[in-house]
Amino acid sequence: MQISKFTKPLIYLVFIVFAPSSYALQPANPELTGSDGNQYHLKDFLGKGKWTAVVVWGPGCPACIEEMPELQGLYDDKEKTNIDVLGLVLDYPSFSYAKIKQVQQFSEDYFITFPNLLISANIYYELGLGSLQGTPTIILVDPQGKVSAVQTGGVPRKAIENYIDRQKEKVDKVSLRTTSKK
């Protein structure tokens, strides 16, 4: 069965809507090497009062290459959308620790400017997200730094934005109810 290019985003949207019930954790805060060679903690990028789309990807992954323009566009519009983007990069297809030169070359070739941290599948597991199922994997982290949804496979930018908008609406409704009870 072939899926049309119009149906595919709807399928992704359905999956990402159902993913949140499994999560509500704050990932561990390991020190990781950035693609710039500097050391960072994961929380340097998460829980700063804005949503973060974290993409787990590998430079040799064909689906990741296809996904990059969507994620770079989301990052480019972060001031407008209040959604940040962070990459967690591992070697593909081995899922071992990413090679910094390969990540730097990929970023240069594909004009990737969002920050990237080097990981392996073991580090992904240590973050508390379970076993890595594949790349790309999109992790949506809320403004408080908690994982809200995880989706393996490419997720269109619009689906990410719609999911986050729905989560914001839920928070607004809860805040409104709490305020009206006082």
pLDDT tens per residue across span 128-179:
888 999 999 999 999 999 999 999 999 999 999 999 999 999 877 776 666 5
**Separation between Cα atoms, residue 150 and residue 88, nearest integer Å:** 14
Cβ(105)–Cβ(76) under 8 Å? no
**Separation between Cα atoms, residue 151 and residue 143, nearest integer Å:** 18
Question: Can you give the pLDDT of all 182 residues of the chain as single tens digits?
Answer: 444 444 444 444 444 443 444 454 677 888 999 999 999 999 999 999 999 999 999 999 999 999 999 999 999 999 999 999 999 999 999 999 999 999 999 999 999 999 999 999 999 999 888 899 999 999 999 999 999 999 999 999 999 999 999 999 987 777 666 655 65
- The two tokens of residue 40 are 């960072």
Cβ burial of 51 (10 Å; 0-12, 13-18, 19+) is buried
- Alpha helices by DSSP H, listed for 36-181, are 62-76, 78-81, 100-109, 121-124, 157-181
**Separation between Cα atoms, residue 19 and residue 22, nearest integer Å:** 6
Q: What is the pLDDT of residue 9?
A: 47
Q: What is the pLDDT of residue 170?
A: 87
| Phi-psi domain of 88 (left: phi exceeds 0; alpha: psi -120 through 50; beta: other) | beta
Q: What is the pLDDT of residue 176?
A: 60
CATH 3.40.50.300 fits 7-181, yes or no: no
How many Cα atoms occupy the beta-carbon half-sphere of 173 within 13 Å?
A: 6
* Sequence-separated (6 or more) residues with CB below 8 Å from residue 155: 12, 16, 67, 138
